[in-house]
Amino acid sequence: SAVISQKPSRDICQRGTSLTIQCQVDSQVTMMFWYRQQPGQSLTLIATANQGSEATYESGFVIDKFPISRPNLTFSTLTVSNMSPEDSSIYLCSVLAGALSEQYFGPGTRLTVT
Amino acid sequence: AQSVTQLDSHVSVSEGTPVLLRCNYSSSYSPSLFWYVQHPNKGLQLLLKYTSAATLVKGINGFEAEFKKSETSFHLTKPSAHMSDAAEYFCVVSGPNAGKSTFGDGTTLTVKP
């Protein structure tokens, strides 16, 4: 299994600013992912965080808006840049771990942009 | 390509009655299918998963789901609803690139006393 922690758990930010969300896993994992859950909606994959190389972004998401770092096998950050109220969401870190490569999700970071 | 459709956005049942949450999927590959539950202001919890073994999958809290390839369905059931089952439920499909999961829009389950 994998235990994932995220910081901060929630934040309220002003438009135009940036917020960096941290994801820490208690074991080394190859695959890490970032998801977004907008209010009242389902989860959408933002990108795959690749260790030692640039993240792979899904359609509709770009590096300039959501830069991602993955310095090692247990840690990743997602930055939400130049925020607008439309960025108000829960951002979740996810990993594949264990012998069966099961997917685990972090508790999420609840972001409100005013 | 893969997609998942949860056929009901809201389901309301009385406590003690059966629960049925419907999910249809589409995948170019042999899919892995999951059901997650999300209680208000809580994280996602895995209820059960199908990964090409037995087609009837038993999960936690009395939930089970049956994979029906001919119907491309993976409906979630529970014989008797409990008040604590009230939550949002997500059907999820992933293909060979595990982790790149596609989530359904979710079904809100309400349990009436």
Binary contact (B90, A42; C-beta < 8 A): yes
What is the reported pLDDT for B40? 82
What is the reported pLDDT for B98? 65
CB neighbour list of residue A20: distance below 8 Å, 6 or more residues apart = A77, A78, A79
Residue B42: closest C-alpha in chain A: A107
Residue A2 domain flag = no
What is the reported pLDDT for A53? 81
Binary contact (B99, A41; C-beta < 8 A): no
Distance to chain A for B43, nearest Cα, Å? 5
One pLDDT digit (tens) per residue for chain B, 113 residues:
889 999 999 999 999 999 999 999 998 888 889 999 998 877 888 899 998 778 899 999 999 999 999 999 999 999 999 999 999 999 999 876 666 789 999 999 999 99
Q: Which domain holds residue A73?
A: 17-107
Q: What is the CA radius of gyration of chain B?
A: 13
Q: Looking at the complex, does the CB of residue B53 fall below 8 Å from at least one CB of chain A?
A: no
CB neighbour list of residue A55: distance below 8 Å, 6 or more residues apart = A47, A48, A49, A63, A68, A70
Residue A8 domain flag = no
Binary contact (A102, B46; C-beta < 8 A): yes
B47 vs A52, more confident? B47
What is the reported pLDDT for B2? 87
**B92: nearest Cα among B41, B50, B40:** B50
What is the reported pLDDT for B84? 95
Percent of residues, chain A, with pLDDT higher than 90? 77
State the CATH number of the domain containing residue A84: 2.60.40.10
Of B46, B99, B103, the CB nearest to A43: B103
Q: Locate tokens 């009385």: which residue?
A: B14
Distance to chain B for A87, nearest Cα, Å? 18
Binary contact (B43, A42; C-beta < 8 A): no
Task: Give how far Cα B16 sits from Cα of B20, B58, B64, B83, Å.
Answer: 13, 19, 16, 9
Distance to chain B for A43, nearest Cα, Å? 6
Residue A92 domain flag = yes
**A105: nearest Cα among B77, B93, B62, B37:** B37
What is the reported pLDDT for A66? 97
What is the reported pLDDT for A98? 78
Residue A1 domain flag = no
What is the reported pLDDT for B95? 74
B33 vs A52, more confident? B33
DSSP A29-81: -S-EEEEEE-TTS-EEEEEEE-TTSPPEEPTT--TTTS-EEEEETTEEEEEE-
Binary contact (A103, B98; C-beta < 8 A): yes
Binary contact (B98, A42; C-beta < 8 A): no
Number of domains in chain A: 1
**Which structural domains are found in chain B, ordered by start?**
2-112 (2.60.40.10)
CB neighbour list of residue B17: distance below 8 Å, 6 or more residues apart = B80, B81
Of A42, A102, A107, the CB nearest to B43: A107
pLDDT tens sequence across A77-96: 999 999 999 999 999 999 98
Mean pLDDT, chain A, integer: 93
Whether the Cβ atoms of residue B72 and residue B26 lie closer than 8 Å to each other: yes
Q: Is the pLDDT of residue A55 over 80?
A: yes
Binary contact (B105, A41; C-beta < 8 A): yes
What is the reported pLDDT for B97? 65
